[in-house]
Chains A and B, each alone.
Chain A
Amino acid sequence: MSGWGGLRAMVAAVYLFALGPIVITATVSFNAANQSRFPPLGFSLRWWAEALGPRWLGPLLFSVELATAASVLAVLAGFPLAYAVARRQFPGRDFLAALSLGPLALPALVTGIGLLQMLHLAGLEALFGLPALVLGHLVICLPFAVRTIGVSLLSIPGNAEQAAMSLGASPFTAFREVTLPLVKSGVFAGASFAFVQSFTDYSISLFLARPGSSPITVTILSFLEYGFAPTLAAVAVLTMIVPIVLIGAVQRFFRVGDFLYETRH
């Protein structure tokens, strides 16, 4: 069974490389010395005390707010877009579909620079900070919402809404009773992907943030200029917990994983 042995070794290596750095980072955050040593020198919670102070919790909260706003807006804008592309025939339909998925293919850095220049040219410097960030994150989050909602719309049996109407449901009732429940997991999957996408982004935020309205990623990045302190390790662990908890919670209720691995029905 040497073939299986090789595969096992490969899987073990993947786990090691994926989880190793996280474990090391988490361990480093308990260093007693002001050195990012692994294995840690002694044990202390002082870096955690610092990480949980307002200097770091502020940006962390800001990131949560930003990601929440971006993902809610992405779903609100993405639903009609996905519905139109999945259900209607109209000129420019393919173009609209490509446009809504486009930002996926573009490096976020390019999108960030583009937005920066556009806001400058339009004289909208006042928007820098939260408004510009929400706008920028909406652009990169939208494809996730459109895609997952579109997939779940297409998985609905073609005539289900018509069947509901033939049975006496008004178009609105048919939408509420049939369409909405069937795309629910798509909506939540799209929203959580969008949330994570926004929460972990820094290449767009780098250009659109403003002192005082800076997401956690940008704050970490600017702190790195002074070197890597154990505080940063603690902050990194905190930052990881947010998306993990979110995905875990949503997955429990809506089977979000289906959108990553396969389509339903």
Chain B
Amino acid sequence: MTAALALEGLRKSFGAGPVVDGIDLVVEPGEFVTLLGPSGCGKTTTLNLVAGFQVPDAGRIAIRGREMTGVPPHHRDIGLVFQDYALFPHRTVAENVGFGLRMRKVGRAEVEQRVGEALGLVQLAGLEGRRPGQLSGGQRQRVALARALVIRPSVLLLDEPLSNLDLKLREEMRLEISGLQRRLGITTILVTHDQGEALVMSDRVAVMRGGRISQVTDPVTLYNRPADRFIAEFIGSMNFLPCLTEGVVAAGAVGSVVVEGQAVRALAPRAIKAGTAALLAFRPEQARVASGEAGELRLRGRVVRVAYLGGRTELHLEMGGRPCVVDVPSGTVAAEAGEEVVLAGPTSACLLFPAEL
């Protein structure tokens, strides 16, 4: 099967240095892939290269197997939703949504029918005659989405589409957009700096850093098996405790380390040299507060603060001067500040990274 979108050795520099520094990515038809990274990681530039607003210095882009070098944006058959929605303020909702169809010389009756369908999909039926200025932020977002979907593009590109919405609406729209995407089976690339958004919406997430993709995998693997310390820190919360390795640990192997005088076994995604400084990493909710039962991870710490969050409670601990957080269901642990506790957890929850980034 031909890939819906293929990026090969994509590079782009602006003055100072490379912004996109060798991107390879293959997106299958119907797949939802997110480019996730902090600002300046090159994700938006990558999107602009795909859209054709910028020309790569090197590399190839193919949409449905068709080489895109030299193809201007208006011949790429893409749908694009911008962060600021970029609606046409002088046109009605219906005219905005129908714009792409009109450019494709679709007949008037069909335009009307498809615009109606698209507005129905985003639950805006009845607002055809409004102008963008008369809509709320969430409604504008939906118009922008309908305008991009109605042309049934080969690839739908979403550039931080939710970042201008308030939190509650943002969380609703995450589910709504990914639901819509699955129903329509439309190949989608989302650009975001919001890891929650990436995990909820994507089939696969490509974490970008310094113009490259550090790891591309499904959300569950990304969360549980981050490939390096940067990703481990960027996705969710993670505890890091300095430790010393006893011997060489091969990439993907379980190694032994010493933390605060206690031996712990953990998986190393990357190879670690013998006797070097390393970091033991585990997520706050993957450790338990133990009372003597067996477990691979056993660490002693003192409770500094108990933070009640409703359904969950965070125990802020101190371990040999290092802060560490454990997240437990409320009511399951009756520890108080100043108390000594033992942390326990399975080896599968423990990761090992070289100390340097």
B85 and A157 contacting across the interface, CB-CB below 8 Å: yes
Give the contacting residue for B82; candidates A156, A163, A168, A174; CB below 8 A.
A163
B88 and A178 contacting across the interface, CB-CB below 8 Å: yes
A181 to B131, alpha carbons, bound, how many Å? 15
Query: Counting CB contacts under 8 A, is A160 at the interface?
Result: yes
Query: Counting CB contacts under 8 A, is B78 at the interface?
Result: yes
B74 and A163 contacting across the interface, CB-CB below 8 Å: no
Give the contacting residue for B73; candidates A156, A157, A162, A265; CB below 8 A.
A162
The residues in B between 199 and 249 inclusive whose CB is less than 8 angstroms from any CB of A are none
Give the contacting residue for A167; candidates B72, B85, B133, B151; CB below 8 A.
B151
The residues in A between 173 and 206 inclusive whose CB is less than 8 angstroms from any CB of B are 173-174, 177-178, 181-182
Q: Note all chain B residues with C-beta closer than 8 A to A170.
A: 72, 74
Q: Note all chain B residues with C-beta closer than 8 A to A173.
A: 74, 103
Nearest CB of B to A194, in Å: 24
Query: Counting CB contacts under 8 A, is B6 at the interface?
Result: no
Which of A159, A166, A171, A173 has the most chain B CB within a 10 Å cutoff?
A: A166
The residues in B between 145 and 193 inclusive whose CB is less than 8 angstroms from any CB of A are 147-148, 151, 157
In the complex, which residue of chain B has the Cβ closest to the Cβ of A174? B74
In the complex, which residue of chain B has the Cβ closest to the Cβ of A158? B84
- Given A162-B73, A182-B89, A182-B90, A167-B84 contact (CB < 8 Å): no
How would residues 107 to 124 of chain A score, 1 for a CB under 8 Å from any chain B CB and 0 otherwise?
000000000000000000
Which of B51, B86, B100, B148 has the most chain A CB within a 10 Å cutoff?
A: B86
A174 to B74, alpha carbons, bound, how many Å? 10
A166 to B155, alpha carbons, bound, how many Å? 11
A167 to B147, alpha carbons, bound, how many Å? 8
Query: Counting CB contacts under 8 A, is B99 at the interface?
Result: yes
Query: Counting CB contacts under 8 A, is B80 at the interface?
Result: yes
Nearest CB of B to A145, in Å: 21
Query: Counting CB contacts under 8 A, is A165 at the interface?
Result: yes
Nearest CB of B to A265, in Å: 6
B74 and A165 contacting across the interface, CB-CB below 8 Å: yes
- Given A159-B82, A173-B103, A265-B133, A165-B73 contact (CB < 8 Å): yes
B88 and A168 contacting across the interface, CB-CB below 8 Å: no
Which of B53, B74, B87, B104 has the most chain A CB within a 10 Å cutoff?
A: B74
B80 and A163 contacting across the interface, CB-CB below 8 Å: yes
Q: Note all chain B residues with C-beta closer than 8 A to A174.
A: 74
A167 and B51 contacting across the interface, CB-CB below 8 Å: no
Query: Counting CB contacts under 8 A, is B255 at the interface?
Result: no
Known: A158-B86, A167-B151. 18 other contacts (CB 8 A): A157-B87, A158-B84, A159-B86, A160-B86, A162-B73, A162-B86, A163-B80, A163-B88, A163-B147, A166-B79, A168-B75, A169-B99, A169-B103, A170-B74, A171-B74, A174-B74, A265-B89, A265-B133
Q: Could you tell me which A residues sit within 8 Å of B by CB distance?
A: 156-160, 162-171, 173-174, 177-178, 181-182, 265
Write 30 A-B pairs (CB below 8 A) sorted by A numbering. A157-B84, A157-B85, A159-B82, A160-B86, A160-B88, A162-B53, A162-B80, A163-B80, A163-B88, A163-B147, A164-B99, A165-B53, A165-B72, A166-B78, A166-B79, A166-B80, A166-B148, A166-B157, A168-B74, A168-B75, A168-B100, A168-B151, A169-B99, A170-B72, A171-B72, A173-B74, A173-B103, A174-B74, A182-B89, A182-B90
